[in-house]
Each structure stands twice: as C-alpha cells, then as structure tokens.
Amino acid sequence: MPASSAAPGPDDRDVRLAELHASAQSRLDGLDRDIAQLRADRRADNADDEHDPEGVTLSSEWARLAGLREDAVRELADVDAALARRAAGDDGRCADCGRPIPVARLVARPTATRCVDCAARAGA
C-alpha cells in the first residue's frame, strides 16, 4: 500500500515537538562542549590568536558560540512551553486574541502562540 501524502494531523505535533526538543538539546550539548574547549584554549599559554592571520580569534569564536547557544536555549524553552500547553490542554489558542490557531500553522510552527493575524501584527 502506498504511503499517504496527507498533511500531518495535530497529533503528529507531539512527535514533531519531541524531535525539536531532542535536536535543540543536542545542539545545546554540543555548543556547551565547544565552549568548554574554547575556555581551555583561552587558558593555554600558546593561544596567541590575535596575531594569527590564518585563524578566527578566540573572542569572535566565543561570541559566535554564545549566540548559537542563546538561540538553542530559546528554542528549547519554546518547545518546552509548547509541550506544557499541550499537556495542560491549552494548546491551539492564540495568546493575544484567544481565537483558534489554524492546525496548518501549528503543523508548520509547532511552538506558535499566536494566530497568523496576531503574529503579523506583532511582527513575529
């Protein structure tokens, strides 16, 4: 029997949210390892990266990793909040106007807290 080409239903969002959570947590773990290694490199006596024309400076790498880590933490928090809303039965209502959030939007953006109109007004 051929695979169904139907759009995923609302229950598929539980699986998608679990995948997003695992992905964000994995990125966060990797970034924490990279930051720990960078800290070790910064303590090294021979880390004269400011005069290395071939490499990225430790300071710019630190800023890059910190930004990526902040994004992963924010995504993890968004996913956790979406999972909590689903568990509490508060899922699928716009936080601004209270109208239902279309299932298609929730499938596309499982962490959405606003309907399309309110998200557009908020610039999100």
The per-residue pLDDT string of the chain (124 residues; one tens digit each, 9 = 90 and over) reads 334 344 444 568 889 999 999 999 999 999 999 999 988 877 765 555 555 555 567 788 889 999 999 999 999 999 999 999 999 988 899 999 999 999 999 988 999 999 999 999 998 6
In the three-class reduction of DSSP (H, G, I as helix; E, B as strand; rest coil), residue 89 is classed as coil
Q: What is the pLDDT of residue 76?
A: 97
pTM for this entry: 0.75
Q: CA–CA distance from 54 to each of 41, 51, 116 (Å)?
A: 16, 9, 47
Instruction: Taking the CA atoms of 114, 120, 123 and 124 in sequence, report the sign of the dihedral they define.
Output: positive
Rounded to whole angstroms, the Cα distance separating 39 from 34 reads 9
Residue ranges covered by each domain of the chain: 9-44+55-91, 94-124
pLDDT confidence of residue 2: 39
